[in-house]
């Protein structure tokens, strides 16, 4: 992940198990892919989600939105861009752009999405994120390329 651009880029292919009988990626797979993007972004920051949990916090999903534009199909090469869109003391919001990689580096937009997360303690009570965690995420808001 580049902290200069404020986004994480995840490249992968649609696996057969993620498709339906028509070899089209099932709609329920997109949120799983978004999780892959968040995981990559957090690793890029040097703060894997396992460390968040080890420190006594969960980032619980509170909202999920996906806008499907075109179908992803079995074995399509995909590129997922994940960005930090909003940081508050107890909440984080991420945005996603999913592309099919084509010839000559062309990208075709397949879906966009957004997830909202609330920080909780191990007893599931809303909690303020630690200052060092907020300091990692906050500079990324608005830093992503247009």
Domain assignments of the chain as residue spans, ordered by start: 7-140
Q: What backbone phi and psi angles, to 5 degrees, belong to 100?
A: -95, 130
Which whole number is the average pLDDT over 72-93? 97
**pLDDT tens-digit profile of 124-137?**
999 999 999 999 99
Question: Between the CA of residue 81 and those of 29, 51, 70, 84, 117, what are the distances in Å?
Answer: 16, 23, 16, 10, 18
37 — phi, psi (to 5°)? -65, -45
pTM comes to 0.92
Fold of 7-140: Thiol Ester Dehydrase; Chain A (3.10.129)
Res. 144 pLDDT band, cuts 50 70 90: low
Q: Taking a C-beta distance cutoff of 8 angstroms, is the pair 134, 92 a contact? A: no
pLDDT per residue over 49-80, tens digit each?
Answer: 999 999 999 999 999 999 999 999 999 999 99
Half-sphere exposure of 56 (CA within 13 A, CB side): 8
Give the Cβ contact number of residue 45 at 10 Å: 16
Compute the radius of gyration of the chain from its Cα atoms.
16
In the three-class reduction of DSSP (H, G, I as helix; E, B as strand; rest coil), residue 67 is classed as strand
Rounded Cα–Cα distance for residues 43 and 21 (Å): 34
For residue 1, pLDDT over 70 is answered with: no
């Amino acid at each position: 992940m580049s902290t200069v651009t404020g986004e994480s880029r995840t490249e992968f292919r649609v696996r057969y198990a993620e498709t339906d009988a028509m070899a089209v990626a099932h709609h329920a797979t997109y949120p799983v892919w978004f999780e892959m993007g968040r995981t990559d972004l957090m690793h890029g920051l040097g703060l894997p989600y396992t460390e968040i949990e080890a420190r006594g916090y969960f980032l619980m999903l509170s909202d999920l939105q996906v806008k499907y534009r075109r179908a992803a199909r079995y074995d399509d090469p995909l590129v997922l861009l994940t960005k930090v869109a909003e940081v508050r003391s107890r909440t984080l919001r991420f945005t996603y752009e999913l592309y099919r990689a084509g010839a000559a580096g062309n990208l075709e937009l397949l879906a966009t999405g957004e997830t909202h997360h609330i920080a909780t303690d191990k007893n599931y009570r809303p909690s303020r994120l630690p200052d060092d965690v907020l300091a990692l995420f906050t500079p990324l808001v608005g830093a992503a390329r247009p």
